[in-house]
Structure 1
């Protein structure tokens, strides 16, 4: 099979500019993110945390048009396994989805809550859900996806994440087996799967029809060994440089490119190299080099 992909749509996200929060003094402003993602040659982007970019659709639309940028998706996370959080998550999801849809996005990325505090690393919950909690996560994610599709037309994709209850390859398989493909798809984050000891290419081979959206990132195996040995939380792993610039980590660009022919030829491939916190001059040259490399490998256009 050919690995040539001519129509996959390459983009990036605020994570690659060190943005994790709507507002933080250690982050670049939204205007700089927009300027630099366009200058790096990406035509597609995610919105990032709600409020980081303008939430008025007309204002945001003008900013995008000025730079010839298009939006692939919005993102929203929450503790789907807690019944008392459902209404709050639904409100957040609809706020993000309505804004994203208004500026032309087609997807909403849903992220599970982390069982460790993002900044302190403290354990907030057990790493494994019991049967009741797992069932609630599955049902809540699918119901949010249904509501979002009904009210905004966006397709929801679920994003397994480090330090969350869906982080390993086996947990991802379980989630795929327990969910309705007509209701929701998978956002395959290659870095998070490898962070959890998995094989992203194998997920594509096993469930090509469920992989509807890709976040591309790599992890440094040597630094990941330190993360596991010291039981470091995700934020400390990022500071250590465990999320690394291609071609320094896994999965390799080539291993993913070889499987891309199994997927929708116009799938979004969104680069996400977590850098929080970082010097404001760090992201742009990395983004430029990464875009050049992925296009050179014909993983996307």
Structure 2
């Protein structure tokens, strides 16, 4: 089919695949980029924690014809002792990424503890909101748009963290990187809750990370499964937005490994093209 838009891939899944295949991720970037290129993907979204990482990753991606349309950054924004440095580091990463054509900065504020269900207090959420707004202004000065990203933790306690970050920020400065499967999982495997999130914040969706599961276990491809992506795309289309689509495979116990990395990503790309093409069709 004719390519209507570009589809990227996110580094997190590739780091898991490298570990599964017995590879050291620190020396596997070129290996992963080669396979992303072979799968027909057009952009690489790296996970960045230091400004010095930007140039070598961008140059390696460019050699394969892969753009760095977006970058992903995580960090602590709820703790006054750490958050100012997080904002400064992310701003410098964004400044350097902008030199390589990056347009979107996907930002996921860290939870209190990745391995527990500790929730942030109201005071911590209020402080995080201030820093997120500050960061959005700083990133805008570099030419990048902040796209707020979440996992399942933000959906706990009535999704209070998720809603507070979006209700309290400027929609012109803070967009949404929708991660349907994390929202679905965080809401107790509820597609209804996911669709409500899109109805509430659909106009702010600037990027979407797509992943699929079968019987609640992450699949090796994005295709038919627990999430109805055609329905999700239709709901997004109602808001008139054209989000950047990023395939983000990930592994957990029970995830199959039958197709090989290139074919699995190629199938996900083709499925994504078919499902999201209506959003990009000429009106």
Q: Do the aligned partners of 1:15 and 1:274 also contact (CA within 8 Å) in 2?
A: yes
Separation in structure 2 between the aligned mates of residue 37 and residue 260 of structure 1, nearest angstrom: 26
Change (3 A) 1:157 1:19: same
1:126-275 mapped onto 2 (5 Å cutoff) = 126=118, 128-150=119-141, 152-162=142-152, 164-165=153-154, 170-171=159-160, 172-197=162-187, 198=190, 199-220=193-214, 222-223=215-216, 241-242=217-218, 245-247=221-223, 249-263=225-239, 265-275=241-251
Q: CA deviation at 1:8?
A: 4.7
Which stretch shows the higher mean deviation, 40-49 or 186-195? 40-49
Deviation, 1:13, is 1.0
Quote the Cα distance in structure 1 between the aligned partners of 2:54 and 2:165.
35
Q: Report the Cα offset of residue 178 of structure 1.
A: 1.9
Alignment of 1:74 onto 2:78: no
Cα separation, 1, equivalents of 2:6 and 2:241: 9
Partner of 1:96: 93
Q: Please give the root-mean-square deviation of Cα atoms over the aligned residues, in Å.
A: 3.2
Instruction: Decide whether the 8 Å contact of 1:191 with 1:243 is kept in 2.
Output: no
| Counterpart check, 1:287 vs 2:281 | no
TM-score, L = length of structure 2: 0.80
* Alignment partners' CA distance in 2, 1:298 and 1:267: 9
TM-score (norm: length of structure 1): 0.76
| Contiguous gaps of at least 5 residues in structure 1 | 1-5, 224-240
> C-alpha displacement at 1:194, in angstroms?
0.7
Q: Following the alignment from structure 2 to structure 1, what is the Cα–Cα distance between the partners of residues 82 and 177?
A: 22
Count residues with an aligned counterpart. Answer: 265
Q: Give yes or no for contact 2:10–2:45 (8 Å, CA) kept in 1.
A: yes
Query: Which structure's relative contact order is higher, taking Cα pairs within 8 Å and 6+ residues apart?
Result: 1
**275 and 111 in structure 1: CA distance in 2 versus 1, 3 angstrom threshold:** same
Structure (1/2) with the larger helix percentage: 2
Q: Is the 8 A contact 1:106 1:155 kept in 2?
A: yes
Are the aligned partners of 2:203 and 2:241 in contact in 1 as well (CA < 8 Å)? Answer: no
Instruction: Work out whether 1:55 is the aligned partner of 2:53.
Output: yes
Check whether the contact 1:156–1:184 (CA below 8 A) recurs between aligned residues.
yes
CA distance in 2 between partners of 1:56 and 1:218 (Å): 29
Q: Is the 8 A contact 2:54 2:93 kept in 1?
A: no
